Amino acid sequence: METGWAGNIMQMLDKLVKLVWMNCLWVFFTLLGGIILGLMPATAAVSSLVRKMIKNEEVESVFREFWTLYKNNFKSSNIIGIFFWIAVLFIYIDFNFLITTSNMVGTVLLIGVSMLFFILTGLLLHFFPIYSRFEMKKSEYLKLAFVMTMTKPITTILMVLWLFVVGILCIEFTVLIPLLFIVLVILGINWLSIVQIEKKDDQLLKNN
């Protein structure tokens, strides 16, 4: 029994160390890509590794596997990332303009932009688990992420809430930012999304 408990504790510590190492690599490689070019491939790499851990698959060398995923996904993830960066810029400009208006039309448009921001956030959160799971055309990733965002509103809301929870934790305990921020986010959204993705698996494979 003691051996069993000791083994479980060692496995938990091993996973925790790997998660912290993943987060550190995410920070480094995001900065290495100048943030704009590093964020998408680094996050995609973390998502793939976290998914393996959730599925109880062995991650033998965190650095080697992270680097391979980062390098292989650099171009495709950044091409898709262009859509997200442009959308964020568009919403940011509109929000800053509309927030200064006080008429009814401006208020309605502000609500609409806020809803678009929520949808975009859900789209981004759904995207990474999908990108980690499937091989498909770049546009298909966005289409499936949009479908999941709109047809699974409870899952989407839970993902956004989890993002806020992790954000609040990191504000209260800033040491979590370099150690566990992104892996906590990715763990939560993969856990929430993976079942829904698996349900779509057979249909997607038939369509492809």
A 10 A CB-CB count for 66 gives 22
Question: Model confidence over 32-55: pLDDT tens digits?
Answer: 999 999 999 999 999 999 999 988
Q: What is the mean pLDDT of the chain?
A: 89
CB 122 within 8 A of CB 159: yes
Q: Is 56 left (phi over 0), alpha (psi -120 to 50) or beta?
A: left
Average pLDDT over residues 90-106: 87
Whether the pLDDT of residue 200 is over 70: the answer is: no
| Residue 208 confidence class, pLDDT cut points 50, 70, 90 | very low
Question: Model confidence over 137-167: pLDDT tens digits?
Answer: 999 999 999 999 998 899 899 999 999 999 9
CB 50 within 8 A of CB 183: yes
Hey, where are the domains in the chain? 2-207
